[in-house]
Amino acid sequence: MVASLLFYALISSAYACVPTIPPTTTPPCCGMLSTSALPRRAPTNLDTFEQCSILRRMSSTCPIDGVVFCDAAPDTNPEGMQIQFFDSTGAVVRTVTNGGTSLAVKVQCTNGVWTVLTGGNQVAISTVSCAQTGSQGVDAGYVLGSAIS
């Protein structure tokens, strides 16, 4: 009797579903970073920052992450660069500033939404600004012998 119960217990577990391949979870991808996926808008501090700078976006495959670049306009020699990220309500969620002529910030795709790291948390973003301050153009006056015939 005990032997038959043991036999039935072993057979019933043998017919149970046993996973042979570990489950995989693929994170949802975001749309490619572009003028429509992360459009440009004006910065909040237009009194000190100009928008003549060049905004570029680069995404990875899928994409699961990317980089937002802000480069100074040619021949403007700025004192500093700024990138601001905004949420869907228009509130600033992160501001990154730096001296020089170029700035880059990494963004992440979290559950199909572009986010940026703010205070240790990934915060959803919907628009971005790229600006420069302290710009001074160069004097490209006429130089003798430089005319092209």
pLDDT, tens digit, for every residue of 62-100? 889 999 999 999 999 999 999 999 999 999 999 999 999
For residue range 111-148, list pLDDT tens digits in order. 999 999 999 999 999 999 999 999 887 666 666 666 55
Q: What share of the chain has pLDDT > 70, as a percent?
A: 74
Question: Which pLDDT score is estimated for 136?
Answer: 82
Q: Indicate whether 41 pLDDT > 80.
A: yes
* Structural tokens at position 76: 């403007």
Report the pLDDT averaged over residues 100-111.
Answer: 95
* Structural tokens at position 55: 């905004």
From first CA to last CA, the distance across the chain in angstroms is: 110
DSSP letters spanning the chain: -HHHHHHHHHHHHHTS---SS----PPPPPPPSSTTTS-B---S-TTT-BS-SEEEEEE-STTSEEEEEEEPPTT---SEEEEEEE-TTS-EEEEEEEESSEEEEEEEEETTEEEEEETTEEEE--EEEEEEES---------TT----
Which pLDDT band, with edges at 50, 70 and 90, does 1 fall under?
low
Domain architecture of the chain: domains with CATH: 25-133 (2.60.40)
Q: Indicate whether 38 pLDDT > 70.
A: yes
